[in-house]
Amino acid sequence: MSTNQRMLELIDILNNAAKVYYQGKDEVMSNYEYDELYDELVRLEEETGITMNNSPTVNVGYETLSKLTKEEHVAPMLSLDKTKSVEELTSWLGDHAGILSLKLDGLSVILTYENGQLVKALTRGNGTIGEVITNNAKMFKNIPHRINYKGRMVVRGEALIKYSDFEVINESLSIEEQYKNPRNLCSGTVRQLNNKIVEERNVNYYIYNLIETDSDFGTFNQKSEILEKIISLGFDVAPYKLVDGSTLSTKVEEFSHEIAEGYDIPSDGLVLTYDNIQYSNSLGRTAKFPKDSIAFKWKDEIAQTTLKDVEWSASRTGLINPVAIFEPVELEGTTVQRASLHNLSIVKELKLGIGDNITVYKANMIIPQIAENLTCSDNLPIPDKCPVCGEDTTILNENGTSFLLCNNKACYAKKIKSFTHFVSRDAMNIDGLSEMTLVKFINMGILHDVCDIFKLKEHVEITGLEGFGDKSFKNLIDSIENAREVQLAAAVFSLGIKGVGLSVAKLICNKFPYALSEFSKLTKEDLVSIDGIGDKLAESFIEYFSNPENADLVKRLEAELDILMPEAIDDNRFEGLTFVITGSLNTFSNRKECQTLIESLGGKVSSSVSKKTDYLINNDTTSSSSKNKKAQDLGVKIISEEEFLQLIKKN
């Protein structure tokens, strides 16, 4: 194991030990063992002159900015000319040696180090002027906080969020807040005004090339030598292979196989550059492209096949998701016979029918997708019964997209949903109860309703399950016990009442700070007296608490919890104002955080624009989105996030 690898290993071990310790869980090592490993890490950092951003020996503080400033790049950040032909790529390289690297799919960022410290980070921007994100770059997971080079060094690379992290983050967001791909999530994350969000989202950074440095950095003839020097300073570089005309096509094929097998780093092609520095510098550039590099875009391998079936899979959220099943085809070296159709809108757009001739491909060589329906029979039956419980389904329209939904409250999929919702972050916030774990407990017969969660400590047989030893069982019980103290709004939200999200729960609880069981006393008139609560929502709330089974559940749950009443709102500057939030945010980690602030100031947040809306918050104030158009038609003021923050200061 190299010194750098040992340092990274020590950082992971020590950070994990500290996390467990400060969360009040079992210690994973003694203080003596921790100090020994910590001292070893300090010695290695002193020997190498490298200190990583996430090292426990440094403390990079959180910082919140009011806006991102802009600055001109030391050299223009140009785009690359492109090709989809390996033959053209080979012809371009000629008889020169080259570097073939992954073209990473994130956000281009320039880093500047001086005297061994990161002093500046700039986004690509328009190629000439970028936004300063230095405080965010200090939270990138894998870049050094300190390097063993005291001169000036400017590098270009890609900030990105790995597929594995993207899936976890997206899973925690509502349908409206979810991102389409890791690139969009990374772009929104890197431009946040609160760098704590950047740290939480595990942004990584990979260097492409060196832009500028002092003469004492070293004398190099090959770019590959510079990359090795950069690696020795503690950085990651974009994965690359050395090539020439005889090996280029083979190396392209190797990359394609590696990606097809499940590469965790998002990429959308390859970049080929000449290895010889002097030759590269002699070529210059066009108005748009440098002449020493070219991008290779994957030519999507498309196969024609026959649609055999569409599988309708009920999820824990009650949504019934369509998956296309087709005759197996070979794509990018693997056999593919399934592709997600995501929702009813896509099914309708493709005009699908069983037996249709379709073409399929792998987006970025990874995710199977239907490219085109050549038949367009448009006769696929949409299930009117849930595939799990057999009860009626309905079609839900949300933000212009249609979804299929099961109506049966007792559906097994819904039962799982009620548990996952109950333990979620905005509800009871119980760690350790994943969907898979909940399913195990339900199938064991030890969970019948959510109150049974607080009796799990009696079921020591759990320690006999795979993945559950004494320690993990104790951690789970500790998490459950910690969750007993809960805010009233979170307790109401955890019940899963139709239409009652966290914001609505807060509105009701602020107006009527009752014990849970006393909410049954509220009338429709009481509820609609709250600005933002309409007839249907009021009826849904009353229906829930008037149901005898629900009333019994609420009474038993109340006995398990220590419910904290809401504090009176002292600052109600937004009282009577209704906001709608759309698009990506920079200052706030997500829309819920912005919503919480508005509600704390007495305002209300709605999901759709109406004549009752006072402000639409959208950083892209000139976009042609449906919400912007509707706001313009209704005369609703559209403000950016920065203008919203100024609005707070004015009032």
pLDDT digits (tens, 9 = 90+) for 166-175: 887 876 665 5
C-alpha distances in Å from residue 568, one per residue of 55, 87, 238, 490: 42, 70, 53, 16
Residue 438 has pLDDT above 50, yes or no: yes
Cα 605 off chain centre by = 23
Residue 483 has pLDDT above 60, yes or no: yes
Give the pLDDT of residue 366.
65
Question: Alpha helix (H) ranges present in 524-639?
Answer: 524-528, 535-546, 548-560, 591-600, 626-634
Strands 578-581 and 144-146: unpaired
For residues 169 and 191, give the distance between their C-alpha atoms in angstroms, rounded to a whole number: 17
Task: Provide the CATH topology of domain 70-81+94-241+266-291.
Answer: D-amino Acid Aminotransferase; Chain A, domain 1 (3.30.470)
24: confidence class by pLDDT, cuts 50, 70, 90: very low
What residue ranges do the domains of the chain occupy? 3-48, 70-81+94-241+266-291, 303-403, 412-564, 578-650
Going by C-alpha positions, the residue among 593, 560, 596, 586 that lies closest to residue 643 is 586
Domain range 412-564, CATH architecture? Orthogonal Bundle (1.10)
Half-sphere exposure of 428 (CA within 13 A, CB side): 28
Give the pLDDT of residue 261.
67
Say whether 224 sits in a helix, a strand or coil: helix
Mean pLDDT, rounded, of the chain: 84
Question: Cα torsion at 457, 461, 465, 468 (round to 10°)?
Answer: 40
Give pLDDT tens digits for 72-95: 877 777 778 778 788 999 999 999
Cβ contact 579:602 at 8 Å: no
Token pair belonging to 130: 């970028």
Give pLDDT tens digits for 268-309: 889 999 999 999 999 988 766 788 999 888 766 788 999 999
Annotated catalytic sites, by residue? 103
Token pair belonging to 528: 């609609």
Rama region for 405: left / alpha / beta (φ>0; ψ in -120 to 50; rest): beta
What percentage of the chain has pLDDT greater than the value 90? 35
Going by C-alpha positions, the residue among 575, 398, 562, 382 that lies closest to residue 481 is 562
Q: What stretch of H or E contains 241?
A: strand 240-243
Higher per-residue confidence, 58 vs 124: 124
Residue 25 has pLDDT above 50, yes or no: no
Cα 82 off chain centre by = 29
C-alpha distances in Å from residue 327, one per residue of 87, 375, 617: 32, 15, 47
Q: What stretch of H or E contains 396?
A: strand 393-398
Residues near 120 by Cβ (< 8 Å), separated by ≥ 6? 71, 110, 111, 112, 132, 134
Average pLDDT (492-512) is 85
Cβ contact 110:73 at 8 Å: yes
For residues 449 and 415, give the distance between their C-alpha atoms in angstroms, rounded to a whole number: 9
Residue 410 has pLDDT above 90, yes or no: no
Q: Is the dihedral of CA 46, 52, 53, 59 positive or negative?
A: negative
**Which of 108-117, 284-293, 434-443 bottoms out in mean pLDDT, i.e. has the lowest?**
284-293
Cβ contact 244:267 at 8 Å: no
Token pair belonging to 426: 């905005």
Going by C-alpha positions, the residue among 565, 557, 549, 579 that lies closest to residue 508 is 565
Q: Is the dihedral of CA 341, 345, 346, 351 positive or negative?
A: positive
Strands 98-104 and 267-274: antiparallel
C-alpha distances in Å from residue 446, one per residue of 47, 236, 427, 449: 55, 48, 21, 9
Task: Provide the CATH topology of domain 578-650.
Answer: Rossmann fold (3.40.50)
303-403 belongs to CATH 2.40.50.140: yes
Higher per-residue confidence, 240 vs 361: 240
Residue 471 has pLDDT above 80, yes or no: yes
Going by C-alpha positions, the residue among 291, 375, 288, 365 that lies closest to residue 334 is 365
For residues 311 and 545, give the distance between their C-alpha atoms in angstroms, rounded to a whole number: 36
For residues 370 and 350, give the distance between their C-alpha atoms in angstroms, rounded to a whole number: 9
Residue 557 has pLDDT above 60, yes or no: yes
AA identity, residue 503: S
440: confidence class by pLDDT, cuts 50, 70, 90: confident
Sheet order of strands, 293-296 included:
81-83, 293-296, 267-274, 98-104, 240-243
For residues 413 and 8, give the distance between their C-alpha atoms in angstroms, rounded to a whole number: 42
| Helix, strand, coil abundance in the chain, percent, nearest 5 | 40, 25, 40
493-497, Cβ contacts within 8 angstroms, sequence gap of 24 or more: 493/426, 493/427, 494/421, 494/422, 494/424, 494/427, 494/428, 494/450, 495/422, 495/544, 495/550, 495/554, 496/417, 496/418, 496/421, 496/422, 497/540, 497/541, 497/544
Question: Alpha helix (H) ranges present in 180-260?
Answer: 182-190, 195-200, 223-232, 248-260
Token pair belonging to 383: 């299930």
For residues 439 and 423, give the distance between their C-alpha atoms in angstroms, rounded to a whole number: 13
Cβ contact 61:136 at 8 Å: no
Calculate Rg over the CA atoms of the chain: 28
161: confidence class by pLDDT, cuts 50, 70, 90: very high
Give the pLDDT of residue 173.
63
Average pLDDT (417-427) is 86
For residues 69 and 579, give the distance between their C-alpha atoms in angstroms, rounded to a whole number: 27
Give pLDDT tens digits for 215-266: 889 889 999 999 999 999 999 999 999 999 999 999 998 888 787 666 788 8
Say whether 261 sits in a helix, a strand or coil: coil
The b/e string for 317-326 (b: 16+ C-beta within 10 A; e otherwise) is bbbbbbebeb
